Amino acid sequence: MSKDQEAQEDELLALASIYDETEFCRAESTPGGEIQVCLELPKDFKIYVKGDKQREYGVLFLPPLVLNFELPLDYPSASAPIFTLSSKWLSRTQLMVLCRRLDELWLENQGSVVLFSWIQFLKEDVLNFLSIQSPLEVARALPERKKGEASMTKEALTERGKKKPLDSRAIVEVDPRADILPQLLDFDEAQRQKAFEGKVFSCGICFTEKLGSSCLCFKECSHVYCKACMSEYFQIQIRDGNVQCLNCPEPKCKSVATPSQVKLLVDEELFARYDRLLLQSSLDLMADVVYCPRKMCHTAVMVEPDTTMGICTACQYAFCTLCERAYHGVSACQATAEELRGLRDEYMSASDDKKKFLERRYGKQVIQNAVEESFSRDWLDENCKACPRCGANIQKIYGCNKMTCTSCKQYFCWLCLSLLTRGNPYSHFDNSSSPCYNQ
């Protein structure tokens, strides 16, 4: 084996011992391989979409730079490694600059193995070398080219922009028409989860230490509890219908578990109940959503602004959204006797907006009659008694306790409302066994 081959083998073995399989993959048929280089981002690093700096996203990880290389027979004594450098978030221009820097590093170390120096540069110095600072701007997706519109040739680009020809070693992995932001955020979340699963946490409920892979982290507050404790907690809350209360157990913490977290910790039946109740509670908060009043339906119905008619899409029932009876057009809602009894107190204690709503629902005249009727009923209850024979309201102004109904002419006792005989009505008061004796 030549010295070059020995140096190549030693370098590849060293890379395999330093980096795991997710970072370094050695080629099978040729001396070469692929290195995934994850950059070390500074704390509180943020990204934003070009033209939308108002919304910034904090990230801990960005997709790696991918260095594919093949070692010539006379490497490292004479020739440099043949390589390509690709990225999902760097521009082609930036990648070309990095390729030239790798060439310079080879020239500085010609005759010695250079892959480790390349990797260290890409891992530690790229941000400073390219003057990349937080927040990092990522480009929006380019609009689709119109049919028949020719793409710009390399020669045209060179002539038009007075730029150097493109370096074929610099590869942008993302379609310029695709939106890169979701891909970056998804990668960051996946890497965060991977890092979380490898750490050890102490559960604040059972006080046992477990790997992050057996724990749940609330995203808003980052409090961590083991999945076993949270699964039991979620099941109890969902069975009780408290789907809005799947919050962090930490006292006074208002972080809420996401639906995807709940789905991981409960069975399909409970999650279906959680999903249904969560949707219903969300619809209940929407002013333009009502429910079909039919007991066997209760489908959510969208209501047009400034109208009181709802039409159920499931059973086609047309109903009034105010009184929930069959739609009655512009006519006032018909209140039941029970509703009218409580209408006065509700109207008298209501705010101005509530009073207007009640007047719109029942009609101002109905409200006025209900109030007057209610006051009349209160006066009658305080000052009158009902005839025990016909029920007519009788007021006693003067005289004895032997009363004569003005409606049916029946004699009765004002005190105990007993019917009195027409022949001798006063015998009721002379009878010593009567509760009204001598009264």
Q: Which amino acid is at 5?
A: Q
Q: How many CA atoms lie within 13 A of 135 on its CB side?
A: 16
SS (H, E, C) 237-276: HHHCCCHHHCECCCCCCCCECCHHHHHHHCCHHHHHHHHH
Q: Give the ranges where 109-258 is alpha helix by DSSP (H).
A: 115-124, 126-129, 154-161, 180-197, 227-239
Burial class (CB in 10 A: 0-12, 13-18, 19+), 62: buried
What is the longest distance spanned by two Cα atoms in the chain? 144
Calculate the alpha carbon distances from 303 to 281, 286, 310, 357, 360 in Å: 17, 10, 6, 17, 17
Q: Which of 253, 315, 400, 416 is catalytic?
A: 400
Q: Give, for 95, the enclosing helix (H) or strand (E).
A: helix 92-108
Calculate the alpha carbon distances from 28 to 6, 70, 77, 300 in Å: 17, 11, 23, 61
**Strand 82-87 relative to strand 170-172, pairing:** parallel
What does the DSSP assignment read for 28-71?
Answer: SSSSEEEEEE---PPTT-EEEETTEEEEEEE-S--PPEEEEEE-
DSSP 435: T
% helix / strand / coil in the chain, to the nearest 5? 35, 20, 45
**Cα 46 from chain centroid (whole Å):** 23
Q: How far apart are CA 413 and CA 403, in angstroms?
A: 6
Which residues, listed in sequence order, are joined to residue 172 by a DSSP beta bridge?
A: 87
Catalytic residue check, 400: yes
Which residues belong to the active site?
400
